[in-house]
Chain A
């Protein structure tokens, strides 16, 4: 069976589908931060386009969910990660050795690179064979790989490599340095390790682990004049070993396979995403497989959160606030109002991020989620940097909203954040109502963060969400957004709660 791609089912040329630029809404939803974090340190794979590419295709999502479910097997995931590490180690080796001038050194690095490649491929074939693979993508690749490993060319490479390595490892030599600027080199046989003799004598004083006095020698890849001289003597002491190495390098100068290179890159889509997810899971935050619907708009999220924000909060040890949401029946639009700094924008991002991540076949934040298979996400967030003059800004707002509504379909997601905020309330109310009517007619899904309270009770399609703050400490942000406003708690007890010092919490905190 021919193998093409583990991201796009049946695509012969998967790279042709990739989008090079981030979609427009990325910045508004802070998705660029998410993708930057996921792909950090993995530039050589050029992964960003894989995260920019959205196909509204339920089969692509299913194809990827299958892989993700297989990768829940920690052993398999670990094996794939170590495969990736080995391959990048090999690449680094070649990059480094190309800078060297000594041929005997280059040949040795080439041998090591081929050895790493051979071992990594063989091990991956074994690992995939023994794993419980259900995903179409992975089983096709596994079959391809097993065939390649069994081929004569691969087997010859492996055995020759092993032989050359064993020969080189058998070399032992001695150097005697005398004070007068001269040294001798000969083969070395057995003798006493004098250092351990000294160590034994002082053994009785040993206590704990001592300070490390070993000098940090600069290990440059190339040989200095003395090392080159010594190596020259060693080559003369063992001529046969070095002649066969030269033959080997000529024979296997080109050994890498194309499908393996494709796999190596595409598997990073999953690995890097799962590594990102792991950061959250370690902090007690959940990710889940979203259910995707094409007919219903009764979407929901349980325990979702803004991943870009959470990614910043987790290392600081700060609490990440989760916000649930759901639409029932005819409900299509969240109108979010309430005090500033209360988590309104965060909520709108959470909504958008969950949909986008679900759309590209990834896991989404939260304990459970159901999302609608959208065709476009369109956002309009107020941006301070576009402040020209008030009239120009209002005009700009209206033009942009108009564009959004022109392109939107009933399957689109529209996210509006504090538009018209620099306008007289009268204007804002009027414009908002007109736009609201249009979105309602369209039947698209929408989150609208606004200061115009009247929108919250506009129609039965609208759900009112309110951000909150701690009643007695208005400076403390809760980031919690509810369908209903919360009720206050008594002052002292609320502080006790803040510090986890109520009867129940203390009993939880101290175990018998």
Chain B
């Protein structure tokens, strides 16, 4: 029985997070978004995080499938919440019994499973009844299939069948085992047979002298014998205990998958509510295949930032068709990092099947998303900063394949500009030739202007805007790199307005070129 709310055929279960999970969460500010989705529920947080980060392998059809399920959720939120609470109830049955009381012996496994399944039968029936009430109103195939499956598979007749087995497995007529002689003439291939009733048992063993049989009765005080006979009994029921133990797990696992998948949509519903309250726009993105190249959107904003500040945020527009690389230059604090975050978040959310923060959004899928941000501190102290940057890049290259997306934020700048630009040039050129899509925020004029000079038609240049008075709009425009990054602005504001005393002799010492002659 599959839930299939995230994919038409494969049932989403727990999936491993991508190798660069920590970097992604940190660089894209994902925690803020997840916190709103979870509403303080730890499980919702984890489920949303896992599904968002592990959905990079989804294809266009799957994304559209999820979008339709999501639309149903937004329309019928109370039914979806009821369904979710049934799933939670099922999962919690596992913690209701005193399971630790049972041993690891087959008998223990068997008895635990008998009780657990008995309790889950009731929740299964309630699920079916809920499904029976919701025949209409849901339009997505995801929900329609789920409801149909519950009605078809969990009939009263089937649930009675299970009850009959649970009764049989209490072995009131003794345990009948068939066997062969294995290695060293020890009993082997023990197979449990359906125990004969009182009447047929008599026929089986003594009936009409068909076969010889031998009987042995233990002396009441023969403890060694009793233990050995107990072991034989355990061997006989070992297989069926295993099967029943697994079956109980499978039923629990079904509830867990239902909870996880519904949990993700519940998170989306929560996020939707929060953004609607702030009057920030959202839209269902239009995904295109990974081997195409598109990044076209209007009013794309960073959801994480929108959820953290009181005022409205500034969105950006871009129409990039057939572009492999977007190079972003311009003023400090001009919104470049925010923009890069909004690109990464939108990509993750789109591929997870969610809405994105924009009035319209369309992009090609990427098989891998990596961020290479300049880190403030070298935490390990093992290597120099530049060495550390390249070490991380090395790790990224290990995971890249064509149609990956890499977001660079001031990478390779921890050395002098000439060397850094050369390294960046080599890396970026090679990645471009291997069909890897990149957004690169850079201050290194040698690098950015070098690319601009080449006039490649698969590269777009964006620049953080600055008004004539030096104030920022936080809006990016399509424009070629300029030699200065307006660091002068920062300097002026901090040094002039905050009246930090000037110390020209220090400036000489820290000057990277050290041209003291001028």
Q: What is A's interface to B at a CB cutoff of 8 Å?
A: 97, 100, 102, 104-105, 108-109, 112, 168-169, 171-188, 191-195, 197-199, 201-202, 204-208, 210-215, 217, 219, 221, 223-227, 229-231, 233-234, 236-237, 490-493, 495-496, 498-504, 506-507, 509-512
Task: Tell yes or no: B71 within 8 A of A by CB.
Answer: no
Tell me how far the C-beta of B275 lies from the nearest C-beta in chain A, rounded to whole angstroms: 35
Query: Considering the complex of A and B, which 3 residue pairs feature the smallest CB-CB distances, nearest first?
Result: A210-B246, A186-B213, A202-B247
- Name B110's closest neighbour in chain A (CB-CB): A213
In the complex the two chains form, is A175's CB within 8 Å of B218's CB? no
What residues of chain A lie closer than 8 Å to B225, measured between beta carbons?
225-226
In the complex the two chains form, is A510's CB within 8 Å of B191's CB? no
In the complex the two chains form, is A172's CB within 8 Å of B180's CB? yes
In the complex the two chains form, is B174's CB within 8 Å of A181's CB? no
Q: How far is the CA of A192 from the CA of B194 in the complex (A)?
A: 7
Q: What is B's interface to A at a CB cutoff of 8 Å?
A: 1-2, 11, 13, 104-106, 109, 153, 161-162, 165, 168-169, 174-181, 183-187, 191-195, 201, 204-205, 211-218, 220, 224-226, 228-229, 231-236, 238-247, 249-251, 253-254, 257, 386-387, 390-391, 393-394, 397-398, 400-402, 415, 419-420, 422-423, 426-427, 429-431, 433-436
What residues of chain B lie closer than 8 Å to A185, measured between beta carbons?
213-216
In the complex the two chains form, is B224's CB within 8 Å of A492's CB? no
What residues of chain A lie closer than 8 Å to B178, measured between beta carbons?
172-175, 188, 191
Q: A186-B205, A191-B178, A234-B181 are in contact. Are A208 and B228 (CB under 8 A)?
A: no
Q: A506-B431, A506-B434 are in contact. Are A194 and B194 (CB under 8 A)?
A: yes
Q: Which of B242, B243, B402, B429 contacts A512 (CB 8 A)?
A: B402
In the complex the two chains form, is A510's CB within 8 Å of B192's CB? no
Q: How far is the CA of A131 from the CA of B396 in the complex (A)?
A: 48
Q: How far is the CA of A194 from the CA of B435 in the complex (A)?
A: 57
Q: How far is the CA of A446 from the CA of B153 in the complex (A)?
A: 82
- Name A210's closest neighbour in chain B (CB-CB): B246
Q: How far is the CA of A237 from the CA of B179 in the complex (A)?
A: 14
Number of A-B contacts (CB under 8 A): 267
What residues of chain A lie closer than 8 Å to B397, measured between beta carbons?
500-501, 506, 509-510
Q: Which of A97, A105, A169, A496 contacts B390 (CB 8 A)?
A: A496
What residues of chain A lie closer than 8 Å to B205, measured between beta carbons?
176, 184, 186
In the complex the two chains form, is A208's CB within 8 Å of B390's CB? no
In the complex the two chains form, is A495's CB within 8 Å of B390's CB? yes
Q: A195-B192, A205-B247, A507-B433 are in contact. Are A97 and B402 (CB under 8 A)?
A: no
In the complex the two chains form, is A171's CB within 8 Å of B228's CB? no
Tell me how far the C-beta of B186 lies from the nearest C-beta in chain A, rounded to whole angstroms: 6
Q: How far is the CA of A185 from the CA of B213 in the complex (A)?
A: 6
Q: How far is the CA of A179 from the CA of B217 in the complex (A)?
A: 11
In the complex the two chains form, is A175's CB within 8 Å of B179's CB? yes
In the complex the two chains form, is B386's CB within 8 Å of A510's CB? no
- Name B429's closest neighbour in chain A (CB-CB): A503
- 5 A-B pairs with C-beta separation under 8 A: A172-B178, A177-B232, A207-B250, A215-B241, A217-B235
Q: How far is the CA of A198 from the CA of B240 in the complex (A)?
A: 8
In the complex the two chains form, is A215's CB within 8 Å of B106's CB? yes
Q: How far is the CA of A109 from the CA of B153 in the complex (A)?
A: 51
- Name A182's closest neighbour in chain B (CB-CB): B217
Q: How far is the CA of A490 from the CA of B418 in the complex (A)?
A: 12
Q: A186-B213, A213-B242 are in contact. Are A207 and B165 (CB under 8 A)?
A: no
The dominant DSSP class at the A interface is mixed
What residues of chain A lie closer than 8 Å to B435, measured between beta carbons?
512
Q: Which of B224, B231, B240, B426 contacts A194 (CB 8 A)?
A: B240
Q: A230-B187, A507-B430, A509-B398 are in contact. Are A496 and B243 (CB under 8 A)?
A: no
What residues of chain A lie closer than 8 Å to B398, measured between beta carbons?
509
Q: A177-B236, A206-B250 are in contact. Are A198 and B244 (CB under 8 A)?
A: yes
In the complex the two chains form, is B193's CB within 8 Å of A174's CB? yes
Tell me how far the C-beta of A327 lies from the nearest C-beta in chain B, rounded to whole angstroms: 40
Q: How far is the CA of A442 from the CA of B253 in the complex (A)?
A: 80
In the complex the two chains form, is B386's CB within 8 Å of A186's CB? no
What residues of chain A lie closer than 8 Å to B13, measured between beta carbons?
207-208
- Name B431's closest neighbour in chain A (CB-CB): A506
- Name A214's closest neighbour in chain B (CB-CB): B242
Tell me how far the C-beta of A189 lies from the nearest C-beta in chain B, rounded to whole angstroms: 9
In the complex the two chains form, is B422's CB within 8 Å of A492's CB? yes
Q: Which of B243, B257, B386, B400 contacts A492 (CB 8 A)?
A: B386
What residues of chain B lie closer than 8 Å to A493, measured between beta carbons?
419, 422-423
Q: How far is the CA of A199 from the CA of B104 in the complex (A)?
A: 20
In the complex the two chains form, is B243's CB within 8 Å of A199's CB? yes
What residues of chain B lie closer than 8 Å to A233, measured between beta carbons?
214, 216
Q: How far is the CA of A164 from the CA of B240 in the complex (A)?
A: 33
- Name A507's closest neighbour in chain B (CB-CB): B430
In the complex the two chains form, is B228's CB within 8 Å of A224's CB? yes
Q: How far is the CA of A230 from the CA of B241 in the complex (A)?
A: 24
In the complex the two chains form, is B390's CB within 8 Å of A226's CB? no
Q: Which of A168, A202, A213 contacts B250 (CB 8 A)?
A: A202
- Name B419's closest neighbour in chain A (CB-CB): A492
- Name B117's closest neighbour in chain A (CB-CB): A202
- Name B226's closest neighbour in chain A (CB-CB): A181
What residues of chain A lie closer than 8 Å to B430, measured between beta carbons?
503-504, 506-507, 510
Q: Which of A177, A204, A227, A507 contacts B233 (CB 8 A)?
A: A177
Tell me how far the C-beta of B413 lies from the nearest C-beta in chain A, rounded to whole angstroms: 12
In the complex the two chains form, is B420's CB within 8 Å of A492's CB? yes
- Name B404's closest neighbour in chain A (CB-CB): A510
What residues of chain B lie closer than 8 Å to A501, measured between beta carbons?
390, 393-394, 397, 423, 426-427
In the complex the two chains form, is B179's CB within 8 Å of A207's CB? no
Q: A194-B192, A492-B386 are in contact. Are A112 and B246 (CB under 8 A)?
A: no
In the complex the two chains form, is B390's CB within 8 Å of A213's CB? no
- Name B257's closest neighbour in chain A (CB-CB): A207
What residues of chain B lie closer than 8 Å to A202, measured between beta carbons?
162, 243-244, 247, 250-251
Tell me how far the C-beta of A218 lies from the nearest C-beta in chain B, rounded to whole angstroms: 9
- Name B246's closest neighbour in chain A (CB-CB): A210
Q: A204-B153, A230-B187, A512-B434 are in contact. Are A176 and B238 (CB under 8 A)?
A: no
Tell me how far the C-beta of A49 lies from the nearest C-beta in chain B, rounded to whole angstroms: 35
Tell me how far the C-beta of A289 lies from the nearest C-beta in chain B, rounded to whole angstroms: 36
What residues of chain B lie closer than 8 Å to A229, measured between beta carbons?
216
In the complex the two chains form, is B394's CB within 8 Å of A215's CB? no
What residues of chain A lie closer than 8 Å to B419, measured between beta carbons?
490-493
What residues of chain B lie closer than 8 Å to A204, measured between beta carbons?
1, 153
Q: How far is the CA of A201 from the CA of B157 in the complex (A)?
A: 12
Q: Name the residue among A214, A215, A229 with the largest chain B CB count within 10 angstroms.
A: A215
What residues of chain B lie closer than 8 Å to A503, measured between beta carbons?
426-427, 429-430
Q: A186-B205, A501-B393, A503-B429 are in contact. Are A237 and B212 (CB under 8 A)?
A: yes
In the complex the two chains form, is A214's CB within 8 Å of B238's CB? yes
Tell me how far the C-beta of A109 lies from the nearest C-beta in chain B, rounded to whole angstroms: 6
Q: How far is the CA of A506 from the CA of B398 in the complex (A)?
A: 9
Q: How far is the CA of A78 from the CA of B252 in the complex (A)?
A: 46
